[in-house]
């Protein structure tokens, strides 16, 4: 029995040390792409640390308990804003004053078109942004044209096609391909931009899908493109897409600083969306970002639809 207890103590020390090392290395994510990957699992680090706390309490290790409590406090700081209730302006019951948007990476190899169609019919979003949209998806979602007569489709055989569906007329719509000036060999960043009128106010939309991390530093430069383009759009802006970055990445934080946009998750809890198949690793990389003058009335993730991403829904209202 004593040997088993010693083995458990050794295992707990090893795992706790690994968790602490991972979070310390994540602090240098802005300088190393592999360290940056460690930033995306903030919620998992906290859960593991809470389990450690239970273990050390059972083992009656007071010094270790103090260490783990301190570490839990450190890990909780960046997560608290997501669970702290945010004061919102009074919600107007008028239908025309609110906007329900949907964000989904459909996965280009996913053949469950019926699940996506059913989800859309069940949720009735006003605006839909899709990533990894290819010609097969364009064909199989053709029936949406009746409900969403206004749309922009840019299918691609690579996993970077985009689509924007809207119940509202789209104006000033553009399909943009932007290359970073310092990287002529890098693929371009594709994003769809359009404008709708909501309650007699213009609202601009951006749908995009930057590269995954670890593909050189292309994703970071693409996020910088979005940040530098903020001045071209009006005060009411909604940016949604699979940004291949969690809220704790230094490059995601930089994007928010450059654009002045807010994460719609704030106040609604962390809502992980990827990878769907491995729930213990899920992290929120599918985003709906909003300008400060837009309130989030509701936000939630949807069910699995055959993709490795989960859908995101948000009900928004202009202040």
Residue, of 21 and 281, whose pLDDT is higher: 281
- Asked if residue 183 has pLDDT above 50, the reply is no
pLDDT at 58: 81
Give the mean model confidence (pLDDT) for residues 248-254: 96
**For residue 24, what are its two tokens?**
């310390």
Grade residue 304 by pLDDT with cuts at 50, 70 and 90: very high
pLDDT at 216: 61
d(CA 193, CA 208): 9
Residue, of 264 and 12, whose pLDDT is higher: 264
Q: Which residues, at least 6 apart from 170, have a Cβ–Cβ distance to it below 8 Å?
A: 150, 151, 152, 164, 194, 195, 196
The pTM score is 0.91
**95-318, CATH topology level:** Deoxyribonuclease I; Chain A (3.60.10)
- Asked if residue 187 has pLDDT above 70, the reply is no
Q: Which of 88-92, 202-206, 260-264 has the lowest mean pLDDT?
A: 88-92
Sign of the CA dihedral 89, 311, 34, 8? positive
d(CA 287, CA 310): 11
Residue with the two structure tokens 């699979």:
242
Distances (CA, A) of 166 to 24, 185, 293: 44, 34, 21
The model's pLDDT over 123-167, given as tens digits with 9 standing for 90+, comes to 999 999 999 999 999 999 999 999 999 999 999 888 899 999 999
pLDDT at 182: 47
pLDDT at 115: 98
In three-state secondary structure terms, 167 is: coil
Is 25 within 8 Å of 35 (Cβ atoms)? yes
| Percent of the chain whose pLDDT exceeds 90 | 65
- Asked if residue 186 has pLDDT above 80, the reply is no
**For residue 292, what are its two tokens?**
């400060």
Is 165 within 8 Å of 128 (Cβ atoms)? yes
d(CA 307, CA 104): 9
pLDDT at 218: 85
Q: Which of 185-194, 198-207, 225-234 has the lowest mean pLDDT?
A: 185-194
Give the mean model confidence (pLDDT) for residues 91-113: 86
d(CA 212, CA 250): 15
Smallest Cα–Cα separation from 223: which of 211, 206, 235?
211
When the pLDDT of each residue in the chain is averaged and rounded to a whole number, the result is 89
């Amino acid at each position: 029995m004593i040997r088993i207890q010693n083995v458990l103590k050794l295992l707990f020390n090893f795992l706790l040390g690994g968790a602490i090392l991972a979070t310390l290395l994540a602090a240098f994510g802005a300088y190393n792409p592999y360290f940056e990957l460690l930033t995306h699992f903030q919620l998992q680090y906290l859960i593991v640390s809470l389990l450690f706390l239970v273990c050390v309490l059972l083992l009656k290790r007071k010094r270790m308990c103090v260490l783990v409590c301190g570490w839990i406090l450190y890990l909780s700081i960046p997560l608290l804003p997501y669970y702290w209730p945010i004061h919102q302006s009074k919600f107007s019951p008028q239908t025309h004053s609110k906007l329900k948007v949907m964000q989904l990476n459909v996965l280009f190899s996913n053949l469950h078109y019926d699940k996506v169609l059913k989800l859309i019919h069940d949720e009735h979003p006003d605006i839909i942004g899709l990533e990894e949209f290819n010609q097969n998806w364009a064909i199989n979602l053709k029936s949406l044209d009746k409900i969403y007569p206004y749309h922009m489709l840019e299918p691609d055989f690579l996993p970077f096609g985009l689509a924007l569906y809207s119940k509202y007329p789209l104006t000033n719509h553009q399909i943009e391909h932007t290359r970073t000036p310092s990287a002529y060999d890098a693929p371009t960043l594709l994003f769809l931009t359009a404008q709708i009128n909501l309650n007699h106010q213009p609202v601009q939309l951006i749908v995009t899908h930057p590269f995954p991390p670890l593909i050189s530093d292309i994703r970071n430069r693409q996020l910088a493109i979005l940040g530098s383009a903020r001045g071209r759009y009006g005060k009411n802006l909604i940016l949604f897409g699979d940004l291949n970055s969690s809220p704790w990445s230094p490059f995601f934080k930089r994007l928010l600083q450059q654009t002045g946009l807010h994460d719609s998750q704030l106040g609604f809890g962390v809502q992980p969306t990827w990878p769907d198949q491995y729930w213990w690793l899920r992290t929120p990389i599918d985003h709906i970002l909003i300008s400060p003058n837009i309130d989030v009335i509701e936000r939630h993730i949807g069910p699995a639809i055959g993709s490795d991403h989960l859908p995101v829904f948000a009900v928004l209202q202009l202040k």
